A = this chain, B = another copy of it.
Amino acid sequence: MANSPTSRKKKEAAGSRDAELTKSRILDAAEDEFARGGLLGARTEAIAANTKVTKAMIYYYFEDKEKLYLAVLERAFARRVAAVQQLDLVNTPPEDALRAIGKSFISEVTRHPNLSTILIFEAIQNKGRFYKDIAIATLYAPMSQIIERGVKEGVFRKVDPRHAAVNIMGACVFYFCARENVKHLWEPGTDLLSPEMASQHLDEAMEFVIAGLRAR
């Protein structure tokens, strides 16, 4: 590519001038900040402070705050789309398919808890303006279809697939969104994102969801 040996060396230096690196640093810091305050509450100042570069770089690469927000959303969804596409949901029994998609989702949110809060902010502050199509298609449609199939095959109770999908997402994701409120249910200092706690949540949530759907 267009990487001469000279420019390569410069990248390793302290005051690096790597565009891609700078962009992804900004995106990382922005994701944290948007996860804490949403589009409305996020401060570009704070984003810059958590980056190795200055505020001006944000506007150089992303034009304005809203475009930066969109870029963060898109990157987060790209991760989700990639994960869902790795699953074969059609040729799998409903219960196993639901387990697969649930596990995929929860383990991703465990690694990237920002996703859950950003999407909640998106709903409340922006009324889903930047969300819509991709999100429904990526998160809810596959789940609804699995549920519908399970109901038809008689392995799941007779539920409304849409309500069920939303309530299942709630059971999976609320733990992450509300973790700072509910942490006091556990011993002081317990980190709800620790591997042990997260895996416990995964187990509890999946068993709860499956039991909640299974026909008696």
A87 within 8 A of B: no
Are A162's CB and B186's CB within 8 A? yes
Shortest Cβ distance from A195 into chain B, in angstroms? 15
Which 10 A-B pairs rank lowest in CB-CB distance, beginning with the nearest? Answer: A170-B174, A212-B212, A163-B204, A170-B170, A123-B181, A40-B41, A127-B180, A41-B41, A128-B180, A167-B171
Contact string against B for A residues 112-137, beta-carbon threshold 8 Å, 1 for contact and 0 otherwise: 00000101111111111001110110
Contact string against B for A residues 80-107, beta-carbon threshold 8 Å, 1 for contact and 0 otherwise: 0000000000000000000000000000
Number of copies of this kind of chain in the complex: 2
In the bound complex, CA of A162 to CA of B204 (Å) = 10
In the bound complex, CA of A214 to CA of B207 (Å) = 12
In the bound complex, CA of A37 to CA of B173 (Å) = 20
Are B167's CB and A185's CB within 8 A? no
Tell me which residues across on chain B come within 8 A of A211, comparing CB atoms. Answer: 157, 211-214
A61 within 8 A of B: no
Considering only CB atoms and an 8 Å cut-off, how many residues of chain A contact the other chain? 63
A22 within 8 A of B: no
Question: A residues bordering B, Cβ < 8 Å?
Answer: 35-38, 40-41, 117, 119-128, 131-133, 135-136, 140, 144, 157, 159-160, 162-175, 177-186, 200-201, 204-205, 207-209, 211-214, 216
Are A178's CB and B119's CB within 8 A? yes
